[in-house]
Amino acid sequence: MSGVSGEFSLPVRVYIEDTDAGGIVYYVNYLKYFERARTEFMRARGYDKPAFLGPDSLFVVTQAAVQYRVPARLDEALQVTAGLASVGAATLTFVQRVYRGRDCLVDAEISIALVDAASGKPKRLPASLRRDLQGG
């Protein structure tokens, strides 16, 4: 997963609502952590409404490959990262990880696509967004 640019890190605390009966983070909640980190990644780059690029566009997740390595537990302090791995014509692919200290608990590659809000069909990313995210 090389080629990750501008990695962003978001602190997250594990609350009881995040866990199962055994006090372990329920697997789907990592996807919520990843969503928050991607949102803040975009916000840090000046996109205040990262889910929307105008009233007729939105981002949707198209693919998520997640590797669960070690469980997080109730009340632990975690760091959730988001780094941009690639920019396509209509897609962004992120490499994301959850850390407890230096230990990587979960890692993922998540792709999102820009789509027309009404039809759900893919749309090209605006040139300005592509430039901003590619650093040029």
Query: What's the N-to-C CA distance of the chain in angstroms?
Result: 22
Contacts of residues 22-28 at CB distance under 8 Å and 24 or more positions apart, as own/partner, are 23/73, 23/74, 24/71, 24/72, 24/73, 24/74, 25/71, 25/72, 25/73, 27/68
Out of 20, 56, 75, 116, which one is annotated catalytic? Answer: 20
Three-state secondary structure call for residue 81: strand
The one-letter amino acid at 128: S
20 is catalytic: yes
The dihedral over CA atoms of 67, 72, 78, 79, expressed in degrees to the nearest 10, equals 0
Catalytically active residues are 20
